[in-house]
Structure 1
């Protein structure tokens, strides 16, 4: 079985290198920029293709590692060259394999394969990818066979249904991208309290890292600390007097979730007044 990649950016190049390290054979890469395909091919000991038709002809599995908006247009270019029993994957978190189901009489397989990982560059370290969880969604008929092949990677692979892809991707955003927004808001507040940008960065980093380590060492509920967990209504009221509309809205919404968590951690504690204050 040979694997081809359409797209030689951060995801394609990094995944290709990882697959090779796990014993998979690569046909090679196609990219709009031949130099990008050449870089990826040299890194993986495979071939840089100058046409999509040549790449498809040399591949049994085909990964579309392009931006979400380009997945369907690229697939429409690839589709005429596909052979029966080939398998095509895209790597979007939010889109399901249904995006590619444009031929009702197709004999090839369709899957979405998504690593829960931010790829920093085209040479993402192998040990970083090794820790990632992958999700797989797609055709039921050949699912077990494709899943079994991907198990050779050694990563945890979570099967998904097509209708769960959007909810799944929202979960990814919650614990990654939205955290950036919280850090940004925290820095705003530090600076409004008189911190320089540099000291604000130092402050949030120390808190952030310590909290993340506690969550990893225990879990989200066990690691919960702060005024909500303590049932400190007075402190919460004071906070709200100093927050702008947007800041207050973020604080209230997330604190309501923390109340639920605190009740699980301390079922003997009455959080009624806090809940009323946060409504």
Structure 2
């Protein structure tokens, strides 16, 4: 699988203060969710990676959000900060699940570690919870946070947008120029799909053969593949992501655009 993009947030220490009533309710839910996690110690690295890959790739509208969340949480992030980060992503406008669900799904898939902390900010251990009632555990756990696991970090590095874009152009070299020209076209300003359709209309690269019959590809195929590679995002029109813009600049430096 090659598909994802890397966020570059400013690194800062997590703030575990100010947990409100809504946070406290989610802390309780997350504590229960942690108990449902598959036994990671019984799985190989490759099995965990496969589980994470399935989770990220399961729904197209969530893919880039999940990737960026893994990248963001390489520094430990309190629940509220992680949820705010996800909510601010342009891709979240089309997400099929809320922030909390997306975070816990990554934890269940071994991409994030769900960390419970007491009111002083110290991690709560399994030994501390042993013998406690559910209410007592709830009182002990004051906040939760998320941190990318070794598996999640590998996934982030392997699926950087630059790698995905190189793969895309390499796998379809006959259409590489069209992909580059489309990146340049949307770099100038956000473009509605109808403008992209007109921009690509009549190009020979839209022609293909399926089951021995000549067919005309829809321009949406190019948009979809560039979006999956982390280069395009919808923000009142199709426009370049930060990673897409960096990739285009690299092509220009190399004399390929």
User: Greater relative contact order (Cα 8 A, min sep 6): structure 1 or 2?
Assistant: 2
TM-score between the two structures when normalised by the length of structure 1: 0.22
TM-score between the two structures when normalised by the length of structure 2: 0.23
